Amino acid sequence: MRVPTVCIAITGEMAIARVILETRRISAELGFAAVEQARVATAASELARNILKYAGTGHVTIASLQRDGRVGIELVAADRGPGIENTEQAMQDHYSSGGTLGLGLPGVRRLMDDFTLESQPGQGTRVVVRKWK
């Protein structure tokens, strides 16, 4: 099953709410159980909030996947913000450069099946995550 890709510009709290709603809708259309829908929506929320908090603006793209007879959902969160100086450190629980609990990116990695983080200081960050049904 192919579901149309949705790209949402992150410009404020309303955009984050839309990311959560669209992620839930698409994962439901793909047949994910309610628990998995909640996990994917939580990851999407965290990624969108990181864009707003650290970069100010960016976008989240939500797409369906089909590979080797499997169905999945992919989230791509990208911005042109300050980037992450030390990605290894950023992936450690309780590390935060923004005064938070420091569980965001490590939590997203635990919630999803595939996780890729690319960041260049001064150029931005791109996170790609996938959940397979």
pLDDT tens digits, one per residue of 31-40? 999 999 999 9
- Residue 96, pLDDT > 70, answer no
The CATH number assigned to the domain holding 102 equals 3.30.565.10
Fill in the amino acid letter for 40. V
Overall average pLDDT of the 40-48 stretch = 97
- Is position 1 within any domain? no
Q: What is the dihedral of CA 13, 106, 82, 97, to 10 degrees?
A: 90
Distance CA 68, CA 87 (A): 31
Q: What domain range is 60 assigned to?
A: 6-132
- Residue 85, pLDDT > 90, answer no
Q: How high is the pLDDT of residue 95? A: 54
User: pTM, whole model, 2 decimals?
Assistant: 0.90
Residue 61's pLDDT band (cuts 50, 70, 90)? very high
